[in-house]
Structure 1
Amino acid sequence: MAPTAFADIGKAAKGLLSGDKATGSFQFDPKLSVTSTTSSGVALTATAVQKADKVEATLKAAYAAKKYSVDVALGADNKVTATASLNEVAPGVKLSSSIVVPDVTTAKVTLDYGMPYLSLKSTIGLTATPVVDIAASTGYQSFVLGGEASIDTAKSALTKYNVALGYHAADFQVAALLADQAKTVKLSYSHNLTPASTVGAEVVRKLATSDTTFALAYARKLSTGALAKFKLENSGLLSALYETKLASGEKVTGSLQLQATNLSAAPKYGFAVDLA
């Protein structure tokens, strides 16, 4: 079995703090999503988000089979993003490609390779002087070590490199990331206190300026099946989320954000409705 991919080191804390399907995502703008599946298995999703006095709409069509998947998305900027993937091209190998139309310079190919003690991902742009992204990780039992780098062949320069070390146990994860070309250190932690409740924290320190920020989060599945989540940042910004699924199948999420150190400041709030 391949080790945890580099991008997934400390994934539980990332999801809790930044948002994921398991613990919900804060939504401070009105959002409506409608999903349906055709008889042929194509999933269609239309999303509209109101930002100030403007509504941004996107449309996505996706189809997945055992050996391959294809999805096409029309963004609010009227650009079309197309992605196609082939699974098990060879043992442990997945091949995918993507492009944003009409900008053909965005075309790229990604190779994922997994084997015992090694997970490798390489992305190369389909241009004469491409940017090459490489990420690799290895692990033993619950420990995982990985790194990633970007090489700009036009400049013959290494433009990005990050290193991460993580420990993934059954009920908690700890991760340390040296990012921004060794200019930033990130430490994250998540712990499933019970099957229904999770806590997490992240500390970020800029080494050049010694600036330090942190965030704490707590999520809990209620007995009703609803989800509640809270996040507190060192700036005093407090965010709260409540997500529930109605009997008719719609998922409704409400979010509230306020400045805990200045309650006179106007709060932000929003909601999301997912119709399936």
Structure 2
Amino acid sequence: MTTHSLIPTEMSINFCTPESYLTCVSVIFQLDVQYVHPHAMLHSSIGLNPTPLLDLSANIGSQTVCLGGEIGFKTASSLLTKYNAGVGFNKPDFSAALMLIKGRVYEGLTPHTVNPTTSVGAELIRHFSSHDNSFTIGSSYSLDPFTTVKARLSNNGKAGMVVQSE
């Protein structure tokens, strides 16, 4: 039996300028710090206990190109819990991304606008540890302003289709 009790508390401190802001939040033994700027973001989180988890993420970019990453570290075991990075390219009719997520490389082109009602996309995944590749293609078609039909097909024979209606 313990006589200690935890009371959830939150404290937030904001520092604002016309272009950016910094926020520090402490919630039950965890400190979050976030810095946001129109073209950059930095976020960190650390547990306030003897063996804290540390998370750090950052990104920088513009409307056309962005670069980002995140890392997680478990101090008790000195292990990385996550290590991810990515770069993206964006244009009005398509976007492309290359991401490294825990030993897997995701490459995607999603979506490419063929015309105002039709778009297509593809995703390629490379698993470095097993040397496996997977590939998925997909398409969407707007029947009307409220209804869209989407379909996809992967290299392992899985197919999917959905009809969305608002």
1:235 aligns with 2:156: yes
Task: For residues 64-123 of structure 1, give each alpha carbon's deviation from its aligned partner in whole angstroms, at most 9, with x where no partner exists.
Answer: xxxxxxxxxxxxxxxxxx9x896x92222345677xxxxx8xx74543321254211222
Structure 2: how far apart are the matches of 1:170 and 1:144?
A: 15
In the TM superposition, residue 197 of structure 1 has moved relative to its aligned partner by: 2.8
Equivalent-residue separation in structure 2 for 1:139 and 1:166 (angstroms): 9
Q: Which residue of 2 aligns with 1:219?
A: 140
Aligned to 2:144, the other structure's residue is in SS state coil
**Count of equivalent residues:** 153
Q: 1:244 to 1:141 in 2, by over 3 A?
A: closer
AA at the equivalent of 1:93: L
1:154 aligns with 2:76: yes
Stretch of structure 1 that moved more, 88-97 or 135-144 = 88-97
1:237/1:118 Cα in 2 relative to 1: closer, same or farther (>3 Å)? same
Rounded to whole Å, the distance in 1 between the matches of 2:38 and 2:76 is 34
Q: Which residue of 2 aligns with 1:186?
A: 106
* Corresponding residue number in structure 2 for 1:209: 130
Please tell me whether residue 93 in structure 1 is matched to residue 22 in structure 2. Answer: yes
Q: For 1:1-276, what aligned pairs fall within 5 Å after superposition? A: 89-91=14-16, 92-94=21-23, 108-140=30-62, 142-180=64-102, 183-190=103-110, 191-223=112-144, 225-245=146-166
Change (3 A) 1:96 1:227: farther
Structure 2: unaligned runs, 5 residues or longer: 1-7
Quote how far apart the aligned CAs of 1:211 are.
Answer: 0.3
Q: Does the aligned pair in 2 maintain the 1:97–1:110 contact within 8 Å?
A: yes
Structure 1: give runs of 5+ residues left out of the alignment: 1-81, 99-103, 246-276
Q: TM-score, normalised by structure 1?
A: 0.49
Contact 1:85 1:94 in 2 (8 A): no
Q: How far 1:227 sits from its partner (Å)?
A: 1.6
Q: Percent identity?
A: 30
| 1:146-170 deviation per Cα after TM superposition (whole angstroms, max 9, x unaligned) | 1111111112333321221111222
Instruction: Give 1:202 deviation, angstroms.
Output: 0.9
Change (3 A) 1:141 1:211: same
TM-score, length of structure 2 as denominator length = 0.76
Q: Deviations over 1:172-200 (max 9, x none)?
A: 111111221xx211101112333433222
Computed over aligned residues only, the root mean square deviation of the Cα atoms, in angstroms, reads: 2.8
Summarize the Cα distance change of 1:170–1:97 in structure 2 as closer, same or farther, 3 Å threshold. farther
What do the CA deviations read for 1:197-239 (whole angstroms, capped 9, x no partner)? 3222111111122100111121222126212111111111111
CA offset digits 1:26-78 (Å, max 9, x no partner): xxxxxxxxxxxxxxxxxxxxxxxxxxxxxxxxxxxxxxxxxxxxxxxxxxxxx
Structure 2: distance between partners of 1:218 and 1:118: 32
> In proportion to residue count, which structure has more strand?
2
Moved over 6 A (4+): none
Deviations 1:243-264 (A, max 9, x none): 223xxxxxxxxxxxxxxxxxxx
